[in-house]
Chains A and B, each alone.
Chain A
Amino acid sequence: MSHPMSHPVSRPVSHPVSHPTREVAMSEQRKDVLGLLAEGTISVEEAERLIVALERAQPAASASLATRPKGRAKYLRVVMEFLGEGEADRLNVRVPLQLLRAGVQLAALVPPRALERANAELVRSGVPIDLTQLRPEHLEALVEHLDETIVELDMSDGYLRVFCE
């Protein structure tokens, strides 16, 4: 895959999830409107109309995760799209959270001798983590809270989203 930064091309990107940066952008736009009003470039009525229009645009922009029906998430999704040489490079992964929950049980199956050796290597590498203290319950708690996790990365030529649905 080509490096994401190698194509500084701006293009419209469809956003499957909500966008915290949009709220920031809206606040900036509102400031711009107020700035124009303060400068006397637009009238009070025009400023009001613009702000109302911005407020109308916001719910549509932020509708997705914010309006996602509350309940237990079932899947971890990774969605990525970057503009490649010709066609766009795309990645769309859906992993059932149940699979992650089952997977963390594997941690309990690692033989103690292997954990001790891994601990020694970690200490030697400057990462003093005691893997023998890692319990499947801890990892399960981590998976349980994954459904509130949203990672969004927006770049000029694409985006990356990690979220649960």
Chain B
Amino acid sequence: MMPQLLTVGVKRPDRRLVRVRVPVVPVVLLLSPVLLLALVAGVVAGHVYHVDTLRALRTGWRIVCALPGTRFDAQFDRTAVLVAIR
């Protein structure tokens, strides 16, 4: 299943935690023209560098679908960063 929600949180010293939740599907729909162009560019690059385009797309899609559950949470000194994909 493709990611549904991306959560990004940043806390800087002496500031409160800022957390942004990004719904992935609406953003992908919004950026679909750009993504389509990127897809075409990727296919052309695949042909130029002799890369199996279908396999590359399949692998890319598998990676995107495997992203949910990823979490990166780090705090160094008084700065904290959180990235979570659901």
Contacts and interface: CB of A to CB of B under 8 A. Distances in A.
Contacts of B65: 102
Tell me which of B67, B75, B78 has the highest count of chain A C-beta atoms within 10 A of its own C-beta. Answer: B75
Nearest to B80: A90
Interface in A48-93: 74-75, 84-93
Dominant secondary structure at the A interface: mixed
Interface residues of B, number: 23
Given A86-B77, A90-B73, A111-B49, A103 B63 contact: yes
Nearest to B63: A102
A103 B67 CA distance: 11
B19 interface: no
B41 interface: no
Given A88-B75, A105-B55, A105-B62, 11 more contacts: A87-B78, A89-B75, A90-B75, A92-B73, A92-B74, A93-B71, A94-B71, A94-B72, A96-B66, A99-B66, A102-B65
Which 9 residue pairs spanning A and B have beta carbons closest together?
A102-B62, A99-B66, A98-B66, A92-B73, A94-B71, A105-B59, A96-B69, A102-B63, A90-B75
Interface of B: 49-52, 55-56, 59, 62-63, 65-78
Interface of A: 1, 74-75, 84-96, 98-99, 101-103, 105-106, 108-109, 111-113
